[in-house]
Amino acid sequence: MKDHENSSDKLSMRVNALVIIDIQEKIIRPIFNKDSVVKNVRKLVAAYQILEENIFISEQNPFKLGPTIPELLPITGHKKIEKMDFSLANIEEFLKELKNNKITNLIVCGIETHICIQQTVLDCLRKGFDVILISDAMGSRNMLDHEIALQRMTHSGAALTTTESIIFELCKTADREEFKEIRNIIMS
């Protein structure tokens, strides 16, 4: 990222994708801030479906760990990718979809911050993607793992923000006809 660029510039110049990593029932049970993570991912999905179009959902070993929590599935189309690798960036199907849709900017949320998210983000950064981490829409089983992973990913080049901040950034203006709906999502 060039020093004079900021995340707003990146969002307007790039093709974005919301990447929701492994928010599955059996994985989320021990997450330290799971209620907040679920609430914020729900907001992201609702707003993103209004403002943007590329949503990817990964599921780690869904045969053993179950599917994505149903309330977090987008109403409209999304691409679901099942995986055994911790890094989603090792999945050819995912990389092909990003390339085919000319996606360069990944907005990442999910669990666990220090495992699948961190490995995916570090690999995606190495592959040349810009990554924005939604810090309050991701978590780990303990706070230290979450915090250290956020530090490592930001030191490697990822940008850090929050759910509300990214939603307003994607919306860009209160003049948008969708703004009232977006405001209602934020306030929920």
Per-position pLDDT tens, the chain of length 188:
444 445 555 555 568 999 999 999 999 999 999 999 999 999 999 999 988 889 999 999 999 999 999 999 988 789 999 999 999 999 999 999 999 999 999 999 999 999 999 999 999 999 999 999 999 999 999 999 999 999 999 999 999 999 999 999 998 888 888 888 898 898 88
163: left (phi over 0), alpha (psi -120 to 50) or beta: alpha
| pTM attached to this predicted model | 0.91
CATH code of 41's domain: 3.40.50.850
> Considering the domain boundaries, does residue 139 fall inside one?
yes
In the numeric block, the tokens 């994505």 are attached to 68
Following DSSP, what letter does each residue of 65-79 receive, concatenated? H--B-GGGS-SS--E
Count: domains in the chain? 1
158, part of any domain:
yes
Nearest CA among 185, 188, 187, 171 for reference residue 46? 185
The closest of 1, 8, 99, 98 to 54, measured between CA atoms, is: 98
Instruction: Classify residue 54: in a domain, yes or no.
Output: yes
